Amino acid sequence: MDKNSNNNENKGIWSARFKGKLDNVANHFNSSISFDKKMYKEDIEGSKKHAIMLETQGIIEKSDLESILKGLEEIESELDNNILDFNLESEDIHMFVEEILTEKIGNPAKKLHTARSRNDQVALDIKLYLKNQIKVIVTKLKHLVTTISTLASNNLDTIMPGYTHMQIAQPITFAHHLMAYAQMFIRDIQRLTNANNLMDKSPIGAGALATTTYNIDRFLEAELLGFECPTRNSLDSVSDRDHVIEVANSLAIISMHMSRMCEEMIIWQSNEFKFIEISDKYSTGSSIMPQKKNPDMCELIRGKTGRIYGNLVALLTMMKGLPLAYNKDMQEDKEPIFDSIENTTICIEILDKMLETLTINTQNMAKKAEEGYINATDVADYLTKKGLPFREAYKITGSIVKYAIDKKKTLNELSLDEYTTFSDIFTNDIYDAINIHNCVESRNIYGGPSKEAVSLQIKETLEDLGYDILEVL
């Protein structure tokens, strides 16, 4: 080995250009293998399809392709079965796979990187990884929506108060309340699906930034990889991380929806409400107060939402000032999105299981729905239907509510004589109009809280998921 060879030992693929070895701390700082190893299956898949394209175009020999495919399959199998350990001295997952492949098959491995750069390779890997993870998350969201729809179907007659400003507003059903969240999660599925469709263009073949002089077929490689087509501009291909940010944004919105639901579950389980009881399987106790049953899983989901928001902000901030094309800053896209995917996924699973095992205190919900003059709007509607202008009816109803508060009576407890002191329009049918169940059922409007309207919501929601209601309920 000559002097130059000795100097270049263990310095990486660019060693011929440099005189000195990279500082150990700098080498560790520069490395991404500790986290981008998550993408080993995607990296291997990309390499397989790249090799097939190279052979198809006559750039490598068929024997080279056979050796490469066999070697890559061995590496994937060994990693899958924990036979092979990741070498954390490798700079990244791309170099690790190439190094192991070279050990296994020798010279053909050195031809694999022909007509590509790690810039387009990593862009491909992260797209493939995100597409795979989107499938997993969408599947879990579909199960969550199904769980919510089933719970709603079992509570079509469960009356509860609806709130605005956290003040009792109008009566609804627990089913109606639940289906509001179902719509949020349906939109989340659509949002992830849209993100998947937008990233459905293969960056491989863009090279470092200016494609390659080799006669490659980007359309063939895109097809082999399952993409709709190749990306249109090579500079954009390697400098774009929109897909990462869009998925991170979708996960942040999913987390926000879960956090809102968990916040309500925390409130509902409190002694002040007692609307629900979360299963012991998803609750914890206190180290000092033996009577406590804490909704820790709900609180953790709520807390992790801030973490997932932070990942989105980190990605946006990292990208905001980068000139074209690739910059090393972009290595920092992996950990935030990996973290968001991992935490969103587990949060969906936990929320789903909590809802499956939830106990509903229907009597407490119904009792609370009788409070707070919740049927006041129905008094005003009653007068309006009798011919009074709504604003006049509203004013009269306000006076009635004030009177009832002073008398410490509910609207149902007021006598007809008391009602007629405010307007001679009132007759005995006022009591049917302000019956809580009737208040709910009279709102039989598309999207409303009536049993029929909510049943339709459940049916259409399940149809959005591709299910027949009879298959689920």
Torsion-angle region of 3 (φ positive above 0: left; ψ -120 to 50: alpha; else: beta): alpha
Domains 119-159+172-219+228-362 and 368-472 share a fold: no
The pLDDT score that the predictor gives to residue 293 is 86
Give bridge partners of residue 172 from the DSSP assignment. 160
> What is the domain partition of the chain in residue ranges?
24-114, 119-159+172-219+228-362, 368-472
pTM: 0.92
Going residue by residue through the chain, which has 473 residues, state the pLDDT in tens, using 9 for 90 and above: 333 333 334 446 666 677 778 888 888 888 899 999 999 999 999 999 999 999 999 999 999 999 999 999 999 999 999 999 999 889 999 999 999 999 999 999 999 999 999 999 999 999 999 999 999 999 999 999 999 999 999 999 999 999 999 999 999 999 999 999 999 999 999 999 999 999 999 999 999 999 999 999 999 999 999 999 999 999 999 999 999 999 999 999 999 999 999 999 999 999 999 999 999 999 887 777 767 789 999 999 999 999 999 999 999 999 999 999 999 999 999 999 999 999 999 999 999 999 999 999 999 999 999 888 999 999 999 999 999 999 999 999 999 999 999 999 999 999 999 999 999 999 999 999 999 999 999 999 999 999 999 999 999 999 999 988 777 77
Residue-wise pLDDT for 437-471, tens only, equals 999 999 999 999 999 999 999 999 999 999 887 77
The pLDDT score that the predictor gives to residue 18 is 73
CATH superfamily of 119-159+172-219+228-362: Fumarase/aspartase (Central domain) (1.20.200.10)
Q: So which residues are the catalytic ones?
A: 165, 286
- 360 contacts 160 by C-beta, under 8 angstroms: no
Closest CA to 284 of 300, 273, 272: 300
The pLDDT score that the predictor gives to residue 235 is 97
Q: CA 240 → CA 64, 169, 193, 218, distances in Å?
A: 32, 47, 19, 18
The pLDDT score that the predictor gives to residue 209 is 97
The pLDDT score that the predictor gives to residue 10 is 43
The pLDDT score that the predictor gives to residue 6 is 36
Q: CA 38 → CA 89, 319, 334, 335, 338, distances in Å?
A: 16, 22, 10, 10, 9
Q: CA 241 → CA 103, 419, 450, distances in Å?
A: 33, 65, 45
Residue-wise pLDDT for 212-259, tens only, equals 999 999 999 999 999 999 999 999 999 999 999 999 999 999 999 999
The pLDDT score that the predictor gives to residue 19 is 74
Residue with tokens 């990462």: 244
Give bridge partners of residue 171 from the DSSP assignment. 161
CATH class of segment(s) 368-472: mainly alpha
Measured between alpha carbons, how far is 222 from 211 in angstroms, rounded to an integer?
15
Measured between alpha carbons, how far is 147 from 141 in angstroms, rounded to an integer?
10
The topology (CATH level 3) of 24-114 is: Fumarase C; Chain B, domain 1 (1.10.275)
